[in-house]
Amino acid sequence: MELNDKTYHFCVDHVFVFDGYFNDHKVAESVVKPTMNRPRLHPYFGYTGPYSLSGPTGSTNNLGFGQSQERRVPFGAEPNDFVVFIFGASVAGNVVSPPQGGPPIQGLLQKLPQLKDKNVIVFSMAQGPQKQPQPLMELAFLLAMGQHIDLVLSVEGTVEFTSGLANFEGGIDPIFPPSDVLGVLGRELTPVDSSAAGFYEMAYHLSRDRAAVKYYSKLVAESKSGLGFLTNRFILAYYARCLNDDLANYEGAVTQKDDRSETQKWTDIQKLLSLDMAVSVTKDNVLESIFQTWLRCSDMMKLMANATGATFVEIVHPNPYHSKKKLTPSETAVLAAVPDTDYFRRGSVQGYSLIEQRTDMLKSRGIITALTLFDENPDTIYVDSTGHFSRLGETILGKFIAEQVGMRLGPNGRQAGTR
């Protein structure tokens, strides 16, 4: 590493720049920014994004869900506030922040007669492709923190069945979070065979060196004397050399040949993430089991919400693979990309068939099915093969949700029939 008296440049995970050595120059902001579309393991939610992310790559709230939200859970509520937490997968997240330019649910709820004089606050707990019981765990987490909630709004459907089916066919129980996300995270956590000699020792030294470089970089920048600057810079140079050496050793270990089969790698990931619990369902009853799990979680969310004085509204959003809508050419083209044998199409068709067959039973529990919402609309609604909506679709669904919420709120903004 080359050093001179006036300028020092160092780059590892971050870029720091120091000009001069007698004053108050600050550490430059990292040029490596995390992105909200890279989930990470979460001890309660299965996975989530980075907390409080803000930047050109996207924004997350302080719990890691995609949304630009200044409030930090748990936050207090003023007498005139109406606090809404929305749960579900990507469709629910798009209700909060519509990517195609539809109206956000916050503004639609604000227009309800019961809420026109209220300050409506919407906090997203939605992310793709999460499914039950993740939202149930999230609501329990919020209530455990003491968060005040007036409306629990759950927008669910497709992913319950598609991800549950993918789990089962991947050899893990459908009750766990989606295997397509956990599998990627597991691979990132096991870059080499965990039995490799010295791997954990290498990882420790690498972590130590990075921490030391960051610490002494800060001391260099904050040095108030020439002697202090030179001392800290000397130590920094030492740890920088250690980091270079340890990083080379680590990368050598990571790139070593891994003779494990893909099946064995997946088995190791399951053990690492505690997903190796015996599967409790069979091929013959997997969709029914997923349906019943979803139903139980819905019941429990409603009980928890009502027990704390919150209104609970659950809506099943439309699905293009189980629909009577006359598809436009663009819709036909994007949906044709998913073959009949794919788990996403099979899960959608079979799962929504169950919902349609049991509409009356769901209605008796207060669950609102919007399966036919787009059936008579001749315009393009579906913009991709996973069933996300155009601006028109976002508008229709958003207005429908707000209308359903309005029907369940009394004149004081509380649940109809309560004081």
Residue 290 inside a domain? The answer is yes
Give just the sign of the alpha carbon dihedral 317, 46, 162, 330: positive
pLDDT, position 252: 67
Is residue 7 within 8 A of residue 14, CB to CB? The reply is no
> What interhelical angle do 286-307 and 158-169 show, nearest 10?
130
Residues 363 and 216 in one domain: no
Residues 25 and 101 in one domain: no
E strands in 115-267: 119-126, 151-156
pLDDT, position 193: 52
Domains: count for the chain = 2
Residue 48 inside a domain? The answer is no
Residue 94 host element (H or E): helix 90-96
Residues 167 and 222 in one domain: no
Cβ neighbour number for residue 6 with a 10 Å cutoff: 8
Backbone angles phi, psi at 92, to 5 degrees: -65, -40
Residues 103 and 219 in one domain: no
Residues 223 and 369 in one domain: no
Q: What is the pLDDT along the chain (419 residues), one digit of tens a residue?
A: 333 333 223 232 332 233 333 333 332 332 333 344 678 999 999 999 999 998 777 899 999 999 988 899 999 999 999 999 999 999 999 999 999 999 999 999 999 999 999 999 999 999 999 999 999 999 999 999 999 999 999 999 999 999 999 999 999 999 999 998 998 888 877 654 545 546 667 777 777 888 888 888 888 888 888 888 888 888 889 989 888 888 887 776 656 556 677 788 788 889 889 999 999 999 999 999 999 999 999 999 999 999 999 999 999 999 999 999 999 999 999 999 999 999 999 999 999 999 999 999 999 999 999 999 999 999 999 999 999 999 999 999 999 999 999 999 977 666 654 43
Last residue of a domain, one of 239, 255, 271: 255
Sequence-distant (6+) residues with CB within 8 A of 154 are 86, 87, 88, 92, 135, 298, 301, 312, 313, 314, 315
Closest Cα partner for 83 from 150, 182, 11? Answer: 150
Indicate the DSSP class of residue 29: P
pLDDT, position 129: 94
Backbone angles phi, psi at 130, to 5 degrees: -65, 160
pLDDT, position 214: 86
Residues 215 and 333 in one domain: no
pLDDT, position 30: 29
pLDDT, position 200: 61
Sequence-distant (6+) residues with CB within 8 A of 118 are 80, 81, 82, 110, 413
Residues 296 and 402 in one domain: yes
**Residue showing tokens 């040095």:** 223
Indicate the DSSP class of residue 283: T
Give 204-216 pLDDT, tens digit per residue. 777 788 888 888 8
- Give residue 13's domain range: 7-32+197-255
Residues 296 and 388 in one domain: yes
Last residue of a domain, one of 238, 255, 272: 255
Dist CA 103 CA 401 (whole Å): 12
pLDDT, position 269: 86
Residues 394 and 293 in one domain: yes
Residues 153 and 107 in one domain: yes
Distance in angstroms between the alpha carbons of the first and the last residue of the chain: 71
Long-range contacts of 375-378 (CB under 8 A, 24+ apart): 375/323, 375/324, 375/325, 376/325, 377/325, 378/326, 378/328
Residues 172 and 293 in one domain: yes
Residue 382 inside a domain? The answer is yes
Residue 188 inside a domain? The answer is no
Residues 358 and 303 in one domain: yes
